[in-house]
Amino acid sequence: MVPDSFLSAQQQIQIPKKSAKIPQGRNVYMGRQIAQTMHYTGAPWLIRENRENEERCSLMLANLNIKTGMTICDLGCGNGFYSLQLAKMVGPDGMILAVDVQPQMLHLLRARMEAEAIENVTPILGSFHNPHLPKNSVDYILMVDVYHELSHPEVMLKYMRDSLKEGGQIVLLEYREEDPKVPIKPLHKMSKKQILKEYTANGFKLTQEFDKLPWQHMMFFGKDPDWKEPVQQ
Ligand SMILES: C[S@@+](CC[C@H](N)C(=O)[O-])C[C@H]1O[C@@H](n2cnc3c(N)ncnc32)[C@H](O)[C@@H]1O
């Protein structure tokens, strides 16, 4: 186990100066039960050898339409399975903002960055209700197998909206609930219908889909310009 004190000494991990009070999280959102955060001791599963065969990760990356120089947030990056690959794809003029709430995951990510001499990844320690992203600066926010774990989905989506550049998009990957052959626990799957319900309610509209991954939905969401934020009572 990695002590937090070690991590806070790492300059590249951006830790917010003031820790704002975390509002109460949800167990259920719009009829969906929220899953527990995957613990960092499960990190080896994220870089398992047969992940490519099972999930066709390279096909997913090929369909992201990444251009060099992009700024991409890998939200819920874990130990950086995608962050490191994205870093190579955006090139030295691009940047990956790798956000996770578990410092131990960011420590594993940093070790992998160092082993591969990758410098264009900025690890960011997020909090459960705030990814601590800069405003109007991100081209894509990629969430692979993360959104269904968010304990504060509405407020997280609001911060994500604020961080996207004009024309920026969220790319969401979730295991398909509709398909009983996908060998993942039901709590860790989502249906397309549920995803659309939650994203449209929070000011996003579906802009593109890729339906050829073996296990996951891959859905692109842009900001809906006609959406009005509900007035707080
Ligand atoms: C199942 S792992 C997926 C990791 C990575 N996306 C991948 O596909 O290899 C989910 C990750 O999301 C992170 N997570 C959960 N809630 C989060 C939040 N509110 N903000 C940032 N990360 C979060 C967890 O700590 C965990 O590392």
For ligand 1, say whether the CB of 78 is within 6 Å of any of its atoms: yes
Residue 145 lies in a domain: yes
What's the half-sphere exposure (Cβ side, CA atoms, 13 Å) at 150? 28
Tell me the C-alpha distance between 218 and 47, whole Å.
20
- Half-sphere CA count of 163, side-chain side, radius 13 A: 25
Phi/psi for 107 (5° steps) reads -65, -45
Q: Are 93 and 69 in contact (CB under 8 A)?
A: yes
Check if 94 has its Cβ closer than 6 Å to any atom of ligand 1. Answer: no
Position 233 scores a pLDDT of: 65
Decide if 7 is inside a domain: no
Listed in sequence order, the residues at least 6 apart from 18 whose beta carbon sits closer than 8 Å to its beta carbon are none
H or E, element range at 221: strand 216-223
pTM of the model: 0.92
Check residue 18 and give its pLDDT: 53
Chunked in runs of 10, what are the mean pLDDT values of the chain (233 residues)? 32 49 89 97 98 98 98 98 98 98 98 98 98 98 98 97 98 98 97 98 98 98 92 72
The range of the structural domain enclosing residue 173 comes to: 42-223
Mutating to test ligand 1, I would choose from 104, 149, 159, 217 the residue with most ligand atoms within 8 A of its C-beta, which is: 149
> Token digits for 214?
């073996």
Ligand 1 centroid, distance to 233 Cα (angstroms): 32
Q: Whose CA is nearest to atom 11 of ligand 1?
A: 76
- The total number of structural domains in the chain stands at 1
Instruction: Report yes or no on 28 lying in a domain.
Output: no
Contact in structure between 222 and 169 (CB atoms under 8 Å): yes
CB of 144 closer than 6 angstroms to any ligand 1 atom: yes
Distance 40 CA to ligand 1 centre (A): 9
Cα distances (Å, whole numbers) of residue 18 to 13, 46, 105, 132: 15, 31, 21, 11
Do residues 175 and 182 lie in contact, with contact meaning Cβ atoms separated by under 8 Å? yes
Query: Is the C-beta atom of 100 inside 6 A of ligand 1?
Result: yes
CATH (domain of 73): 3.40.50.150
Among 13, 47, 146, which is best to mutate for testing ligand 1, by the most ligand atoms less than 8 A from CB? 146
Residue 173 lies in a domain: yes
Res 13: pLDDT: 47
Q: Is 124 in the pocket of ligand 1 (CB under 6 A)?
A: no
In a domain, 71, yes or no: yes
Q: How many CA atoms lie within 13 A of 77 on its CB side?
A: 35
Residue 24 DSSP SS3: coil
pLDDT score, position 210: 98
Secondary structure of residue 206 in the 3-state scheme: strand
Asked if residue 24 belongs to a domain, the reply is: no
Does the CB atom of residue 105 touch ligand 1 within 6 A? yes
Q: Which two tokens stand for residue 81?
A: 């399975």
Write phi, then psi, for 46 (nearest 5 degrees): -70, -25
Q: Ligand 1 mean position to 135 CA, how many Å?
A: 21
Kindly give the number of the ligand 1 atom that is closest to the alpha carbon of 142.
6
Give the pLDDT score at 130: 97
Element (H, E) at 141: strand 138-144
* Residue 55 in contact with ligand 1 by CB distance below 6 A: no
Q: Is residue 9 part of a domain?
A: no
Residue 67 within a domain? yes
CA distance 159 to 137: 12
Q: How far is CA 89 from the centre of its chain?
A: 17
